[in-house]
Amino acid sequence: MVESAYASWNSLALNIAYGCWALGLLVVVGYIVRLSSIPDNKDKYDFINRHEVKVLWYASLILIVGACAFFNSNILELTTIMTFVRVFLTAMMGTIAALIIQNLLKFYYPFFIEKRLKVLRYKPRISPKTGKPMKLLSEEEEDVHLDEGMQAEENVFSVDYDVWKDEETGFIKIEKYAGHLHAIQCPECNYQTFKVAREEILRAPTETEEGELLKHYQCSYCGYKAKKTVALKPQVKAPEAATA
Measure the CA–CA gap between 16 and 229, rounded to whole angstroms: 55
**CB closer to Zn ion, 127 vs 193:** 193
Residue 200's DSSP bridge partners are 214
**CB closer to Zn ion, 164 vs 191:** 191
- How many of the other CB atoms lie within 10 Å of CB of 221? 17
**Local structure of residue 184 (DSSP, 8 states):** B
Shortest separation between residue 117's beta carbon and Zn ion, angstroms: 20
**CB closer to Zn ion, 171 vs 221:** 221
Cα distances from 70 to residues 4, 26, 76, 109, in angstroms, run: 18, 19, 14, 27
Shortest separation between residue 76's beta carbon and Zn ion, angstroms: 49
Shortest separation between residue 232's beta carbon and Zn ion, angstroms: 27
Measure the CA–CA gap between 150 and 176, rounded to whole angstroms: 9
Whether 62 contacts 26, CB under 8 Å: no
Whether 181 contacts 49, CB under 8 Å: yes
Shortest separation between residue 213's beta carbon and Zn ion, angstroms: 23
Measure the CA–CA gap between 92 and 62, rounded to whole angstroms: 16
Give residues in contact with Zn ion (CB under 5 A).
Answer: 186, 188-189, 219, 221-222, 224
Shortest separation between residue 191's beta carbon and Zn ion, angstroms: 6
**CB closer to Zn ion, 13 vs 219:** 219
State phi, psi for 209 to the nearest 5 degrees: -110, 150
Measure the CA–CA gap between 238 and 30, rounded to whole angstroms: 47
**CB closer to Zn ion, 157 vs 221:** 221
Shortest separation between residue 114's beta carbon and Zn ion, angstroms: 15
State phi, psi for 238 to the nearest 5 degrees: -60, 145
**CB closer to Zn ion, 155 vs 158:** 158
